[in-house]
Chain A
Amino acid sequence: MDEERKLEIERWKDKVNEIIERFPERKERFTTSSDIEVERVYGMEESTLPGEYPFTRGIQPTMYRSRFWTMRQYAGFGSAKETNKRFRYLLEQGQTGLSVAFDLPTQIGYDSDDPMAEGEVGKVGVAIDTLEDMEILFDHIPLDKVSTSMTINAPAAVLLCMYIAVGEKQGVPLEKLTGTIQNDILKEYIARGTYIFPPKPSMRLITNIFAFCHQYLPKFNTISISGYHIREAGSNAVQEVAFTIANGMSYVDAAIESGLNVDDFAPRLAFFFNAHNNFFEEIAKFRAARRIWAKIMKEHYKAKNPKSWKLRFHTQTGGSTLTAQQPDNNIVRVTLQALAAVLGGTQSLHTNSRDEALSLPTEESARIALRTQQIIAYESGVADTVDPLGGSYYVEALTDEIEAKVEKYLEHIQELGGAVQAIEAGYMQREIQQNAYEIQKQIERNEEIIVGLNQFTMEEDAEPELLKVDESLEKGQIASLKRVKEKRDNDLVEKRLRVLKEMAKDERENLIPYILDAVKAYASVGEICNVLREEFGEYTGV
């Protein structure tokens, strides 16, 4: 080891000690069951350092020795009132962050009384029409104490404004709000389908949010660039990372083009990945993604702030790996996937429930899913040292190979003109679909074994108890929307919607303050989106 390297490690140790002084680790001394002392980092001499560029070994120097990942279960169904109850239950059970699932009409900017919403109200998440629903959703949940992740994309600006308005009513200053909005429209075009507007105005809304949050919500993650759904749609691990990072680069390009400085918004970009079954490949995938993003931000975009280089990510275990057959087996799949995410250095984690191939999870299933994370955190000891698999011949080789393959894809996408053009040409969609079809064929030919599905099958009793969403909910939601519309100041709503429409015409205007005004007047998600539809038009697919 040369002198310079030795010095670097010494400097790192000093820095870490300073940090620990201020924020102590979970324990003063970590040991195994045989009282072997567990070191903070192994193999430092031969590898890059955790918390240092390019962050292959993690974005913090002490990782889970200081604080476990955030256990964040995605939840939401039916009405705001019911979901509020589930949130409060999860918080009581030791969950440390909220994650809101919205129903499809909300995600696509339709009110519950829209003909397009028929049959979908409250089905896959909570129905939100106006600020009133949002107030009920967060009733008795202090927004300065929890961080909230919202899976909302096309109308992200509207729901963010509602969150801000609820915070204001609770007396929480804007700069204290923490959380994440998904706000990732590009993967909606590729894989998830809840788009409203065409790419150009959609990118404008996204960069408007970046700019607004930079000024007023400095602790809010303005986007969660998502590979999760790309993987669920059928991509492999390399494609998941490649397409996600390509999308990320498009957002950075758009933000810079809109006049922002890269270090003003890049530290608030977050990522969202999947965790599937191939254990070591998944771990290597997370490590490679961090390294690739760091290099791109530092070398390509010349970001100066180290925070801009760090790829922070949320992980959810793989929904498409769950089987409807022998559903309890899914608990084991989820455990392995969650463990891969932890060994890959995730910042937060959602573990799926065993019954999600059949319907939304019951309370019991959701609890087992959360307990799975708690067992990994508190019992397994894997969180006691940083990047325990760093230096493994296999994992390091996989990390390098994934990086190389991702770079190839990124080059090709650049040749096509970037992610937006590649999506408009249907390139990513085709790649994913081809892979999905191959997987299906492999399963049907028994080349890929799925336990309980094409091997080790058995006669099963009837399905376990499933969560049912009350069918009368749609009517109730429509009735309460009608009530809000009757009691609000409709002249004010109309005025504010008119202003928003005017402002939408001018590309240089930041629309967030006008959306916030409309939301505060109890304009509905559908009304706001309709005004924007009139100006922006609608995306209709490739």
Chain B
Amino acid sequence: MGKKIRVLIAKPGLDGHDRGALVISQALRDHGMEVIYTGLRQTPLQIATSAIQEDVDVIGLSSLSGAHRTLFPKVVEELKKRGAGDIPVIGGGIIPSEDIPYLMEKGIKKIFTSGSSTEALAEYIQQLIDPKEKTLTPPKKISHIGIAVKSIDQALSLYTDGFGLQLEGVEEVADEGVKVAFIKIGETRFELLEPIHEQSPIQKFLDTRGEGIHHIALDVDDIKARINYMKKHGITFIHEQPKQGANDSQIAFIHPNSTGKVLFELCQQRTEEEG
């Protein structure tokens, strides 16, 4: 284990409600972090100075008095003025959701609103500060867009002749009952999906919805970790374990009931280091 994560929990302004700040301090200590609690009535300058002196990895601000719009951004400003703009600042308390975009724009990394669990907070800080231990970077790009077609032969000319894109190859994935045509476009691809037998999911899709966009696939680094993380946040998967996809990739589909009916596929390309 590396060195302990150091957290400054601070109460900016005149608000005296520190139940949340105290509970969070204790919870983070129980998660093995070192927590410095400033006590009440701290000015943004005092908070920034303490953070620098104590060499903390992250600052947590708590306010229930409605002064967050003024005071949270000031803490970020004071940190920047002192060359410590790299210390991430997160916040919580009674904060209407409509204020959150404003605070994010002003450089607050994340807002935890009423009802958030200390567990989620500890996990967030852990990943924010110590990405080596539990990396979970967001998807880097759209891996491909899957389009259901009755016949690749008929559909292909739009892409190759009409758009002038390049066909990379055609492959049959027996497991899924599909034939797939890969068409490269910039960093990403179109995948034309043609069913190869009646039981193919693509055939079912064509029967009920007709031709059209079938799914969007996102490129992820660590598909297992991403599945676990999303499951913890209440998202259901069609594939709870990654399975073999086309091009030697690892894939998993998310259940469309969790995504507003958009079918998403997570996709991890085989990389050489992994071998």
Interface residues of chain A, those whose CB is within 8 Å of chain B, are 104-105, 107-108, 110, 115-120, 123-124, 188, 192-194, 232-234, 320, 323-325, 357-360, 433, 436-437, 440, 444, 453, 462-463, 466, 469, 471, 541
Contacts and interface: CB of A to CB of B under 8 A. Distances in A.
B227 to A, nearest CB: 22
Contact of A192 (B16, B22, B118): B16
Given A116-B43, A119-B13, A120-B14, A440 B27 contact: yes
Contacts of B22: 433, 436-437
Which size class do B's interface residues fall under? 20 to 34
B12 to A, nearest CB: 8
B252 to A, nearest CB: 23
A230 to B, nearest CB: 11
B119 A323 contact: no
Nearest to B97: A463
B141 interface: no
Given A433-B22, A440-B23, A462-B97, A104 B13 contact: yes
B67 A463 contact: no
B69 interface: yes
Contacts of A119: 13, 67, 69-71
B67 to A, nearest CB: 4
A453 B115 contact: yes
Given A323-B114, A463-B97, A471-B69, A120 B18 contact: no
Contact of B15 (A115, A117, A193): A193
Contact of A357 (B17, B66, B98, B114): B114
A193 B40 contact: yes
B14 A104 contact: yes
B119 A444 contact: yes
Contacts of B261: none
B39 interface: yes
Interface string B75-107: 000000000000000000010111000000000
A102 to B, nearest CB: 11
B106 to A, nearest CB: 13
Contact of A463 (B17, B70, B96): B96
A193 B14 CA distance: 8
A324 B118 CA distance: 16
A193 B115 contact: no
A541 B97 contact: no
Contacts of B15: 104, 120, 124, 193
A440 B96 contact: no
Given A116-B41, A324-B114, A541-B39, A436 B19 contact: yes
Nearest to A105: B14
A440 B67 contact: no
B113 interface: yes
